[in-house]
Every structure is written in structure tokens, then in C-alpha cells.
Amino acid sequence: MPTLSVSQISSVVGGKLQSDGNGSDSFISSISIDSRTIFDPASSVFFALKSERNDGHRYIPDLVHLGVRFFVVSDYLDEYQSCTNCSFIVVADTLKALQKLAAWHRSQFQIPVVGITGSNGKTIVKEWLFDLLHDRAVLRSPKSYNSQVGVPLSVWNLRPDYELAIFEAGISNSGEMENLFEIIRPTIGILTNIGEAHQENFKSHQEKLEEKLLLFKSCETLIYCKDQPLVHAEISKGIVIPEGKAFGWSFDDEAANLYLRKNEVGAGVEISTEFEGKKYTIEFPFQDAASLENAGHCLAFILTQHLADDAVIEKFHRLQPVAMRLEIKEGVNSCLLINDYYNSDINSLQIALGFLNNHAQHPYLGKTVILSDIQQAGISDEQLYSEVARLLQLNKTSHLIGIGLRIRKYADLFEKSSTFFESTDQFLESVQPDQFRQECILLKGARDFHFERISSVLQKKYHQTVLEIDLNAMIGNLNFFRSLIRPETRVMVMVKAFSYGSGMAEIARILQFHKVDYLAVAVADEGIELRQAGIDLPIVVMNPEEHSFENMIEFRLEPNIYSEDIFDSFRKVLQQHAVVRYPIHLKIDTGMHRLGFDSVEKVEKLVSKLIVQDEMVVRSVFSHLAGADEAVHDEFTSSQIQRFQELSSMITEKLSYQIFRHILNSAGIERFPEFQFEMVRLGIGLYGVSLCGNQQVKSMSRLKTSISQIRKIEAGQTVGYGRKGVAREDSEIAVLPIGYADGYDRRLSNGVGKVFVNGRIASVIGNICMDMCMIDVTGLQVAVGDEVELMGEHILVSDMAETIGTIPYEILTGISQRVKRIYLQE
């Protein structure tokens, strides 16, 4: 990584340096635009970028707390002046500053730099070149870092020991490529193709082509496919690229700079060519037009740069599809599933259809295309879908399933065998996986249609039990509860008991990013686990134990002081370690009769001790409501709140610093927001359970498994231990790989528990075993591998709890940690 002083960076970006102390002489090596990606705070500079949905400036106080000391900002706020040992570089536009810094850094290197742009294939060509040249020191853009932000972050990774750098550049508007040119300044260019992708902001393909060609104006060589008439005609003008620098290759024109002959061999292609008097034969493992085009670009680059040794040529036949684009999975009922919902345009559809043809061979009897509305076209809908219909007919697809209002509007353009749905939801409501057998299925959809949901239905299922955690639902729940309180009210979130079964570190990371104020755990070990996972938020330990006090101090965990004995013991440990002003939290018992100071006398005695010591500082005073979720207890709840106000005021009025008060839990936030004081505690509500029945709180956990085996039994036969499950008629029984050791409560045995399978509700039959349970699927037409929901959207955790006479807390926290957690976030 490069190393620059803060003053050097300020000079390069043309900023005004506001530095505390000797900060301008400090050196940094890392740049970041995302507070979650800073791993070395002391040597990082944070660019506070602004966008329509976010503003990096709001994360600066947290970053200062994390140890970041260097910032590039466009808004220099008064509060920054109190940030000790921090330096702020003030600029008019932080994005422009980031790009300017990357452009300066690029200028320090003389190595060959490849710039790749085009409508499709940029990432594939980049990744394939990297694979082919893997034995050399090659830098490439990570993933698809090709945007106005991604390119500077990629170029910043340049180091003197690289032999070659490969950067891709993507644009969606006029005027953007000039910025990327200044950053990349490629010496070799590759133009993959010009198609429909991102066409909506350009008047024509010609306008988009002219914009993309600006990337190559400093190139010594520009590689392009001569078989693209528009591209060849524009480059031949020699306006942007002098004619001698353009290198056109072709599958069709023998007069091209490089002519490639292709011959299909098995499932691949053999390419033969001659360059500078030497003949080459290259084996390539694909036959579809898109892959061959991408391979042509790679081969042209390898040859023109004199890198075509035997080892590199041999690697062509081992190239693999690039992740993020086309994905092949084994589907239900001997189907093959091709997922391509990375983008949606007419050009990429043609590419995907070629890929479908290449794979729709024996034993697949049909070719099905599931296609969404195409959102990037640049032509009228009628022209667009006429062309789609023509392509489907040319490629001899057996069946089209169109999803979306626009494609459905032009249903008459397609074959009679086609079917249409207004939305993905409507399709999923009607689809049965048994409809598809021995077919090659192409899923081609724009991201907004969430075709991954269709993929999950059609791909082959494996025996597994998992708990899916919907982080989007959790964030929505957090925002809902925040909407009920004042902006200045702080939020403490309970993550004890493995975050109510959801997984501690993963949940805590999301909460930290979304700027909650405190986390709370039950015991010190839970807090230590979070610290070791990199969580830096203040953490309260609700049930501190004396033997853990030293570890609590080491890991900066803040104890709940609920008795005079705990106060004295913790103070003694602090004195032994010469610690002062350590944060603590005081528990008041207002009627729960569990933990806490429960009388005026005890509180007065506590205050007298607090006043004469300096080892501890009180961060908050709190109490716990016993029945805030039930209206029958409202009178008692009111008395608790009144008692809390009386006892807490005895502390807050005697101490000279600010102390936060909190008594509201999730139900309290919903039902008594007028008593939010300075902080609230969010627990079960975050995890998707509203004890008040609020429909805006969404379930975020889904416990699911799949059918291991199906067997038929006769009437009168029994199922499971103790022969408790008796078949009243001839029945079909499915075995599920989940039992009470996984947290599936044994009280759900013998018809009490319900599951959701194949769109229907089924009952548990017999006793639940340690690792398995059985369900009655008579008449449901299920198959081995079918997914079964045991808790989630159709089997609500609140209903499960009520059925067995418990509470949702017990169900959620009882799910064993041996059950794999899968976190989903869009």
C-alpha cells in the first residue's frame, strides 16, 4: 500500500488542512469510504462521501472513537474541533478528492495498465486475464469495482512490485468516463462490446460508444472485436484512437489484425490462429458466443503483449465461468438451473440464450426461459419484446414464463405455449416444482424481481436444518421502534442469550453499523465474545459475577450494580487496578422483585457512597416493567413508572453529571412512549415479536429443514418412541432431520406441533426424538428433499409458544447452536 503524509494528501486533493497537534506529519496507507472496512484505524484516512441515501459525515464521531484520526470532509462541523489528535482535510467535493488522489497515485507508476470497458463481459475478461497470467504479479479490480468510487479504490492498490494492472471501468451517464480516464490512464485498452446495458441515459448506442472510447485516448494499443460493425466503424475514423493503435480481431474477417478460426470439439471449441509468423492452437471449454467473444479479447491481449508462452496457452482450456454472472445448479426432478439475474438487457439475454443452448443437451428434454421485464433497453417496449420473441424462437425454446407488467402487456407477440405473471409473488403462489422435469431452465431477471426466490424453489434440495435470519426485517424492526421515540432518545439493544437465538456477533455488527447506543448481555462471557468479534459499542452486563470483574475491566464491559455488596466488591477490584471513573449502571427494583435497590433507604445509602468515591461513574439508572404488554397490568405499570421516577431522581439530582434513565422494554416502547426518558431497551421486538400484536413488526427468523425419507404405514401402526403416534388410516409419514437437541421442543409431539410443507400445514406425529421428528404428510404429495418450515412466516413463533404454554423468548433462545444460522440481506 502507498504511504503518504496527511499534509501530502491535503496538497494532492487541494484541501484545507485542519489539524490538531502534529497530525499533518502523520502517515497513512489505507483509504476508506465505509466505516465497516477499517481494520487499521491509525493508518487510515476516511473519505466522508455523500449520496442520496447516506452521508459519511455522520459516522465520523464513531470512527474517532474507533481510533481513526484522519478525515477528508466537505462539511467541517464545530464538533470536529474537539476531536483530539485528529486532522480534517476540507474539500468542496469528497468524491472528486478521492478521484484526484487516486489519479495522482496512478501517475507514480510506469507499468502496463489495462483498461477494460464495454456493455458486457468486463468482469469476465478481467478475471480470465488474471487467471491466464496468474504466475505473474498482476493487480486487478476487486469484484466489479468499476464505478466512480470503485475505480479509485482499485487504483489505490497499485504497488511498485506489480508487473501489470487490470482495471475495469463502467459508466451509466455522459461525462463519467473522463473521470475514470484520469484515474486509470490505461496503456492498453480492451473494448468488449456495445449493447443495451445502461442504455437508458444515452440517446443512442453511438453516443454511449463515443463516451466509452474516451477511456482509451492515451492507449498504445486498443483491442476490439472487428465483427461489431458500429464499434469498427467508429474506431476506423481514427478520431479518438489513431488508426495504428487499434487492433481488431475477428472470427469472420481474414483481413483482421488477428483472424481466429474456430472448430467445435466435444463440448468446447478449438481456435487456431497465426500471429507474427507463429501458429497457435487453443482449446477452449465453452461454445456459446459470449464466452468465445470474451476469449477472443483475452487471446488478442496475450498475443499483442507477447505473453503467449506454452503455459499460458494451455490455461485457456481450464477457464471457468465467473461468479456473479451465470450460475448453474442442479434443479428439481433432473432439471438443470441456470441463474442469470445479475442484469437484464436484450444483449445479455442473447448471451444467456446461447449459454442455455450450450447446456440444454441430453438428458434435458426441453428449454424453459423464465424472464422478467427488461429494464435497460433504450427502445420502445413493442420493439423490445418483438426482438425478445424473435430470439426465443430462433433459439427454439420450449416454454417462456414471462414475469412483469410490461412483458405481459405484449403476450400476443410470443408463442402460445408461453405463460405470464404480473409479479414474482404471483408466480411463486402458483408454481409447483413438479411442473418442471428434465428441463434446462434459464432464470433471466432484473434484480428488482428477486429471482433468487424462484431459484430457491427450483434448485435441488439437500437434507439440512438451518435457521435463516432476515437482517432486512431486523433493521426494519429497529427503525419501527425508533420511529416511536424521540430522535435524541438512546437505544440499548438486548443481545443476551445468543441474541435471542439469532447469533451474537453477526447481529451485533449490524446493530453497531446502524448506530444503536448500547448492547446488553447477560453474563461477562457473552460480552467478551462480542469484544473478540470486534464489537466496540458500550456493553452492559446485566448479571455480573464477582469472579468475572477483572475480565470485565479488561474487555471494557459495564456492570449492572444491583446491590450494595456488588457495589463494594466491584469498587474494591477497581481500586486494586487503580481504575477511576469506570462506567456502571444502577438497577432499581420497582415491583419485579428480582434484582435491584428497592427502597428509599437503600438508594440513599448508595448515593452517599457514590458521592465520596471516584472509581465509578454512573452511566444509567434503570428498572424493569413486569407486565407492560398486558392492559390488565396497566395500573401496576403506572405505579412502577412513578416509583422509578421517585427513586431515580434521588440519584440524578445528587450527582453532577448526566445520567440516562430507562425503564421501557419493547412492549413499553409501543404502549408507553411518553415515559421513554433518556433511553429505552429493545429486546424481543427487534427479533420480530410484538407482544402487542403490531403488524409492522416483522418476523426475522425462519427455522427450516427438508424431508429425509417418506414411508407408508397402515392404519393402526405406530410411529416413534413409546408408540404414541398411532395412524388412524393408511398414511404417509415424512422424517425430518431435526429433534429436541436442535431446540425443537418435545412438547410439540403427538399432533401438537405444526409445520408448513408444499403449501400446506402438516402435523407432527409421534414423540419428537433427539435428532429427528416425523410428520403426517398424507395426501400432500411431497417428495424427499422438499423444504419444511417449522417456524417462520407460516408457522409463527408466537403461535408455537401459545400452543405449548410458553413464551416466544423460550422458543427462540432454545434453538441449538448446532443449527446453522444463515443471514440474508439484500
Q: Which residues are catalytic?
A: 496, 721
Sign of dihedral through CA atoms 322, 323, 326, 327? positive
For 499, the grid coordinates are: 441474541
Spatial distance between the Cα atoms of 341 and 324, rounded to a whole number of angstroms = 9
Q: Rounded to whole angstroms, how far apart are CA atoms 158 and 146?
A: 15
Question: What is the Cα 277 distance to its own chain's centre?
Answer: 51
In the chain, the N- to C-terminal Cα span, in Å, equals 31
Is 453:809 a contact under the CB 8 Å cutoff? no
Is 770 one of the annotated binding-site residues? yes
Instruction: Tell the residue number behind the cell numbers 470486534, with chain if given.
Output: 534
Cell numbers for 12: 494532492
Distance, CA of 642 to CA of 310 (rounded, Å) = 84
Name beta bridge partners: 702: 468
Helix or strand (DSSP H, E) at 265: strand 261-265
Nearest-angstrom CA–CA distance, 157 and 177: 20
Cβ-based neighbours of 398, under 8 Å, separated by 6 or more: 366, 367, 368, 417, 439
What's the CA gap between 218 and 224, in Å, rounded?
16
607 φ, ψ (degrees, to nearest 5): -65, -40
Which grid coordinates belong to 571?
469498587
Per the annotation, does 1 bind a ligand? no
Q: What is the DSSP string of 74-143?
A: S---GGGGGSTT-EEEE-S-HHHHHHHHHHHHHTT--S-EEEEE-SS-HHHHHHHHHHHTTTS-EEE-ST
363: preceding bond cis by omega (within 30 degrees): yes
Closest C-alpha among 737, 761, 734, 764 to residue 749? 764
Residue 645: how many CB atoms within 10 A of its CB?
15
Of 466, 438, 468, 465, give the one whose Cα is nearest residue 708. 465
β-pair partners for 706 = 787
Which stretches does DSSP call E strand in 185-260?
188-191, 221-225, 246-250, 258-259
Count CA within 13 A, CB hemisphere, residue 806: 15
What does DSSP say about strands 518-521 and 87-90: parallel, antiparallel, or unpaired? unpaired
List, in order, residues 6 or more apart from 77 with CB less than 8 Å away: 57
Element (H, E) at 290: helix 289-304
> Residues marked as binding?
594, 770
> Residues marked as binding for substrate?
594, 770
